[in-house]
Structure 1
């Protein structure tokens, strides 16, 4: 006789002691078979229903589920009128109507009558109700009177042998005839003005304890709300699927869990996966002792929670000896404060080396220089000098050097290392700043107003004006503005890359916008918040900021709404980090000293700041070379496009920018030569001007005086002499035009000349 296969026999055995640990960890308030929650509970409840007198939490259209359904069934009347006119009792807990026959208190069955009077009416041929009640004597009231329904606020007679009226008896049977006392108690606890609840009685004991523990953990963490109705559907689906324990199936199964009938709701997989991991943590513990042997490290169990990386996998490293060394290396780097994303990238690059290793390599002793040279050739063929090419060599070299320094394996050959010549020549750093005509579109107030979220609009302004990295910007504290002794405002932030606090000067306008946003956040979340840009969901404590991915998506949508175009008319694609490069380039273009730019951007070294300076010089020179250059007679001036003369011409051009304050061009005279005209316009006999140009004259006088002051401080006498005449002429012109108060004098002079 063939044995009947057991569908559960291939499931892994449950960990020993799990039941005892669950029972000791679950608090009494969560050990109930029917978990009842207060309507205002911060995790399981919500704001009160907008219907007058209803204490149920609002779930849809500012109403509880019952009133929302009632509003829909009534044809969606005017909402404000419905809110003040509809009864407060919600569907399932309002007072039930009695039979229409006078004196009868049985519940309704059909056509406004109880079952006994409905049958009598049907036997009479279903005549009009009023005529039937006057011509035919309805069945009399039973004697003695039946018992009243066990639900405390229901005064209808019980149905037959049941202890409930017709309506409540039908609901009791629909729930599978649960224990009468429990059913009655649920109405007492969640009756009119009652609470939310999750009924776990259909689950087997093991799974019931696991769900109780998972719900308790979500309550304690208080990061995201859970609607009991949503959880009840999940519980029913688990019961229909005859699940015994969440540990009976692997994690991949719970990611896509659906009930036997295909019922499913958003978030089930995330909740079940999180619940399974919490139970594993309870039975196996957390920390390095629990995680180190696993093929996939869960960083949350190692106390690493504020990271974009949630796991580090070693499954792709097939050689056990190499996997053990990679684990040791990863643990050492995490312990030293290196970010989880950097550690995971290093492990991934060791995994590529693992895939390359021939089958005959059975230990570290065979990883010598010859093998590494073969690997270099393989990398070059696969990557061809891409940016990741250098990263693979660098990480593997660090891995091998760490093994050698810490003497984790003495079998490693001494020549197993890379030399500087092994690294491909890195491509030149290309400009990553946003073009000025694109920035003009983005900084347009009309386009900034197209942001739908004021928080993301303010993040964009911080990126543009302060040059922060996106991670630093979204993690700003609630009060990020500080002032120095003179009252100047600064933005205080934490530089996550450098792991230190930093300050950047801001203007009063940005300070005011930060203050306004701070007040708005405190008004919206009076319960408390610790970050300036809190995320809207899964953030009950107010300590989780907007995600970087969420901002990037919003940025792309905003660019599309603004119809931002690049120099070729194509839709502009911009990353948040480009705003940082743009600020650095702009500051260098304005002749801000490199050291000041380095401090503003909080660079550790001046190398990156020097890149902005080099980029600025190359950009300006390229535009200067392409521009058409003419002399005072309007004749085109030709220069050699390349060679030593071109370099010298560009050097002279840069020097000439500092000699005179010309409003209409640059001086082409070599610095070693004396200039017969300190300014070609102001010393020209044909020059004519009027009072309408006074603003330009005043500005040029100010610039000229600044040049004279700087030249005197540096002891440049010839430069002082060259500009003194310009300043004197400007002073005479301004004085004459200011003293002449007669209108039209300038025009008359122009005509006379």
Structure 2
């Protein structure tokens, strides 16, 4: 591929754009970053006094190698005892002769003592060292010119023995300049990013790519990885990252490791994005749309290259743009339409249709037969997509050649079978919900996600994208899980129990150990997420779920291992609620369905809500305090759904239990001592009857000496008196009005 000119019309002035966007701190041949840099740093080396970045086991590269050479001792002990200085700043070894300050030459002795020992016939070292005569001292204060070296100078040299040899190897430069070379002026070569070997324009492109990587903070990049990419670019003899397309760079980078190859692909992508116009004006005319240039997350592409008819390709682009601009998601607005139209294009090619005016009803009937090999759902999707395209062409006058008979009718759609909910059997759920099995998950985060999915019925995508502050409460302090329903594109709430609240709060405390500054999301991905802003991926959780199921050995009633997807817990919750006589409208609110027809998948009945009557009634708790639900507040619908759920499934003869269905009652049958109990004036006769029965129980218990039983019932009696007095007062006030 021929490289476009850096200022050519195809790039629209890439050089000018690079000059405008690359910040001064990145516009250097040598880039240095502190150890605490979130992307290019690794945190400070655990050795006190070392300023280099940690690269493995908490050590910098130098101390890491020393730790390995030492046999991998206890890291904390090694860090506290090893020399924090770089190897070239450490003093050279001193002669073994007591009082000698010369550096070693061979055998642990300086050159002078080594010759004396050899002339003596190499006697026993220890006895020889003990009898060595006094050493002649150099001039007072004479030491090696190297700042950190305290050894004596070698003969007339200004340096010790080892540094003298190094000085001679470098051609005997000026002693002062040679000594200055040992003074640390910055990071070592393996801790810096060096771009000086690249051509000027290519160097600027790499600087821009590194700046983008730093700003996005998706993952760490060590200077070593950047160095590998730089060496590849030099060897490839290119002047720009755009000299090859992505496929060409993948072929050239075959010898690189995955990290370096990923950085190269990232650099090519961001430079190409900068060079080419983004937005619809720049992307629409291309046959491959890079959707991140249109504001969509990820690196998904829509390919129109397989739509071989030019007129159909143009109509497909207009149709997809229209759907996406109306707010449909990438899959529904772009992926499925492109797939359906591409298949229709292949059918037209096989049948010899070249123009839009050749489309007619017989051709569509032929296509319906061609679709018969697909599943019912895919056939319905393809037919619906094409019908939408035909309607848009006529409605917006995109092409006048489309005949009025080119349309699909309701009878053309294959009948959708009425499928039963894919709920899990209760014996399977019993195994999944058992604490011992949940504890077998290899990560507490995956364990919590599983509990959230089972108890709330959220879709897995919505659960993984929960905000860190996802817990909210109503006026009564009842907890709810606030989430964004991505399918319906709206915020929603679902009642949860206090136990789940505690687990979520504990999880948030654990994430602070990894991200001390906190994270905006509840379940951040564990890798390539330096600031905790990226959510855990669905494939990652699905893999963890498979590992958990294997570890727990969950089996069905036939003894076979259970295979499930996270979405089946949503079906299970909906089916459980219906089976417990929860009204369908309440189930719809809990699952946040858009219409009763969606909830009808779990039941074929519809309940008339009683919210208006509930809001009109005055409710009091066991203390006699009035319970108020704000009908206009953001929690009104969710609070009503929670209350209606409890009322429908836990109705009492004298009131309603306000405890959520997901939470078991800690009070057995002592509802009048439960803080979740609510009642109204319609139950006053029952309250008075129970008060009389409670008095009789207390009298009988006292007569038999059952003090504990009498004490428990006195609490019930006190609460009954409070409730009756409060409700009587309320009735008197209403009558007076």
Superposed pair shares fold, TM > 0.5 = yes
CA contact (8 A) 2:106 2:114 kept: no
Shift of 1:614: 4.1
Shift of 1:27: 2.1
Cα 1:15–1:125 change in 2 (3 A) is farther
d(CA) in 2 for partners of 1:362, 1:185: 76
Cα 1:146–1:81 change in 2 (3 A) is closer
1:457 aligns to 2:447 (yes or no): yes
CA contact (8 A) 1:314 1:347 kept: yes
1:443-454 correspondence to structure 2 within 5 Å: 443-454=433-444
CA contact (8 A) 2:38 2:531 kept: no
Cα 1:168–1:348 change in 2 (3 A) is farther
- Deviation larger for 194-203 or 477-486: 194-203
- Deviation larger for 519-528 or 334-343: 519-528
Shift of 1:427: 2.2
1:354 aligns to 2:345 (yes or no): yes
Shift of 1:110: 6.7
Q: Which runs of 5+ in 1 are unaligned?
A: 1-8, 174-179, 617-657, 659-697, 703-711, 714-730, 743-753
d(CA) in 1 for partners of 2:116, 2:292: 69
CA contact (8 A) 2:421 2:601 kept: no
2:249 to 244, 251, 254: 254
Cα 1:125–1:524 change in 2 (3 A) is same
CA contact (8 A) 1:38 1:196 kept: no
CA contact (8 A) 1:40 1:47 kept: yes
CA contact (8 A) 1:368 1:415 kept: yes
Cα 1:11–1:195 change in 2 (3 A) is closer
d(CA) in 2 for partners of 1:479, 1:565: 36
1:644-659 correspondence to structure 2 within 5 Å: none
CA contact (8 A) 2:89 2:182 kept: no
d(CA) in 2 for partners of 1:126, 1:213: 67
Cα 1:398–1:154 change in 2 (3 A) is farther
User: Structure 1, residues 655-711: CA drift from partner, whole Å, max 9, x if none?
Assistant: xxx9xxxxxxxxxxxxxxxxxxxxxxxxxxxxxxxxxxxxxxx99xx9xxxxxxxxx
2:572 to 553, 562, 582: 582
Give the TM-score taking structure 2 as reference length. Answer: 0.72
1:508 aligns to 2:504 (yes or no): no
Cα 1:301–1:738 change in 2 (3 A) is same
d(CA) in 2 for partners of 1:172, 1:374: 84
Cα 1:523–1:100 change in 2 (3 A) is closer
Match of 1:434 in 2: 424
Match of 1:333 in 2: 323
Cα 1:741–1:314 change in 2 (3 A) is same
d(CA) in 2 for partners of 1:450, 1:210: 48
d(CA) in 2 for partners of 1:18, 1:600: 52
1:66 aligns to 2:62 (yes or no): yes
CA contact (8 A) 2:47 2:59 kept: yes
1:190 aligns to 2:187 (yes or no): yes
Q: Secondary structure at the match of 2:564?
A: coil
1:651-670 correspondence to structure 2 within 5 Å: none
Q: Secondary structure at the match of 1:492?
A: strand
d(CA) in 2 for partners of 1:28, 1:103: 52
CA contact (8 A) 2:144 2:150 kept: no
Match of 1:38 in 2: 34
2:272 to 251, 266, 280: 280
Q: Which runs of 5+ in 2 are unaligned?
A: 172-176, 607-647, 649-667, 673-681, 684-693, 706-737
1:567 aligns to 2:562 (yes or no): no
d(CA) in 2 for partners of 1:244, 1:604: 55
CA contact (8 A) 1:256 1:269 kept: no
Q: Secondary structure at the match of 1:613?
A: coil
1:552 aligns to 2:542 (yes or no): yes
Match of 1:423 in 2: 413
Q: Secondary structure at the match of 1:189?
A: coil
Shift of 1:230: 2.4
Cα 1:386–1:32 change in 2 (3 A) is same
User: Structure 1, residues 520-560: CA drift from partner, whole Å, max 9, x if none?
Assistant: 32344222310111112222332211111111111111001
CA contact (8 A) 2:90 2:148 kept: no
Cα 1:121–1:603 change in 2 (3 A) is farther
Cα 1:99–1:741 change in 2 (3 A) is closer
CA contact (8 A) 1:587 1:597 kept: yes
1:153-172 correspondence to structure 2 within 5 Å: 165=163
CA contact (8 A) 1:255 1:270 kept: no
Cα 1:127–1:592 change in 2 (3 A) is same
CA contact (8 A) 2:33 2:41 kept: yes
Shift of 1:42: 1.8
d(CA) in 1 for partners of 2:107, 2:229: 37
1:233 aligns to 2:236 (yes or no): no
Cα 1:92–1:373 change in 2 (3 A) is farther
d(CA) in 1 for partners of 2:19, 2:96: 52
Match of 1:319 in 2: 309
User: Structure 1, residues 437-486: CA drift from partner, whole Å, max 9, x if none?
Assistant: 10000001100111222222111111111111111111111111111112
1:474 aligns to 2:464 (yes or no): yes
Match of 1:680 in 2: none
Cα 1:288–1:98 change in 2 (3 A) is farther
Shift of 1:11: 5.1
Give the TM-score taking structure 1 as reference length. Answer: 0.71
- Deviation larger for 266-275 or 87-96: 87-96
Q: Secondary structure at the match of 2:441?
A: coil
d(CA) in 2 for partners of 1:491, 1:126: 87
User: Structure 1, residues 172-210: CA drift from partner, whole Å, max 9, x if none?
Assistant: 99xxxxxx99x959941126xx99311222333332222
1:292 to 274, 284, 292: 284
CA contact (8 A) 2:88 2:182 kept: no
Match of 2:369 in 1: 377
1:217 to 195, 212, 222: 212
Q: Secondary structure at the match of 2:289?
A: strand
2:196 to 193, 198, 201: 201
- Deviation larger for 574-583 or 17-26: 17-26
